[in-house]
Chains A and B, each alone.
Chain A
Amino acid sequence: EAGVTQFPSHSVIEKGQTVTLRCDPISGHDNLYWYRRVMGKEIKFLLHFVKESKQDESGMPNNRFLAERTGGTYSTLKVQPAELEDSGVYFCASSQGGLAGVPSTDTQYFGPGTRLTVL
């Protein structure tokens, strides 16, 4: 079974340009997450989709970031316009989904990440 895939693996853009990152989750996973690690910092949560709906976008840094998941399959994360501080590695993860109200588990599987460099 294919894992979470991300495209591109690397992207180098200039400040002010637009970049779109793509994530393809594991087939059948309703939950999709975006995380990022900026230089020297810890991996931070950005947002969470359940199918095509945004369940939690509390981690989105500002309105220059736009995430979509049309049709509940793959997701895109657009940064427009990109700033220097947006440089880092953007990870996508997916999960099947646990049972609400039950202390069960819901494992998130991560993709390899997209390394974004803003010059």
Chain B
Amino acid sequence: LAKTTQPISMDSYEGQEVNITCSHNNIATNDYITWYQQFPSQGPRFIIQGYKTKVTNEVASLFIPADRKSSTLSLPRVSLSDTAVYYCLVGDLSGSARQLTFGSGTQLTVLP
């Protein structure tokens, strides 16, 4: 599975838009990009997934450039409850090897 690199931590204020960028230079043709969110004492929670261009759901947007070597998770108008660790994962989940490879993630802290 392709390795990812993302900032260890980020701070933001309530109401701001937060963009977390992830680098995945070795992404393979069949790989998808998935973002998970994790609160303390909870399991990772799926946020969004994409292959290329832009994906948007009710929670976030995911921007993927044409070369797919990076991706940006965008959280609009964050609140205190968005304080969590955000993981960027890259892999092909359609084959027999379905394991997710988690990195260290990005600790997002939203300040009042």
Given contacts A45-B101, A55-B98, A108-B100, contact A103 B51 (CB under 8 A): yes
* Residue from A4, A59, A95 in contact with B43 in the complex, judged by beta carbons closer than 8 Å: A4
Instruction: Tell whether B25 is near chain A: CB-to-CB under 8 Å.
Output: no
As a 0/1 sequence over residues 45 to 74 of chain A, the CB contacts with chain B under 8 angstroms (1 = contact) are 100100000011011000000000000000
Q: What's the tally of chain B residues with a CB closer than 8 Å to chain A? A: 26
As a 0/1 sequence over residues 37 to 48 of chain A, the CB contacts with chain B under 8 angstroms (1 = contact) are 000001111001
Instruction: Tell whether B14 is near chain A: CB-to-CB under 8 Å.
Output: no
* Residue from B34, B98, B102 in contact with A48 in the complex, judged by beta carbons closer than 8 Å: B98
Instruction: Tell whether B41 is near chain A: CB-to-CB under 8 Å.
Output: yes
B42 engages A107 (CB within 8 Å): no
Given contacts A42-B102, A42-B104, A43-B102, contact A104 B44 (CB under 8 A): no
Instruction: Tell whether A35 is near chain B: CB-to-CB under 8 Å.
Output: yes
Majority DSSP secondary structure for residues of B touching A: loop
Given contacts A42-B103, A42-B104, A103-B32, contact A110 B96 (CB under 8 A): no
Instruction: Tell whether A31 is near chain B: CB-to-CB under 8 Å.
Output: yes
B99 engages A59 (CB within 8 Å): yes
> Chain A contacts of B97 at CB under 8 A?
56
> Chain A contacts of B49 at CB under 8 A?
105, 107
Identify which of A43, A106, A109, A110 gathers the most chain B CB atoms within 10 Å of its CB.
A43
Q: List 14 A-B contacts (CB under 8 A).
A: A33-B98, A35-B100, A44-B102, A45-B101, A59-B99, A91-B44, A95-B93, A100-B94, A103-B30, A103-B51, A105-B49, A105-B93, A105-B94, A107-B49
In the complex, the 3 A-B pairs of residues with the closest C-beta atoms, listed nearest first: A110-B43, A45-B99, A43-B102
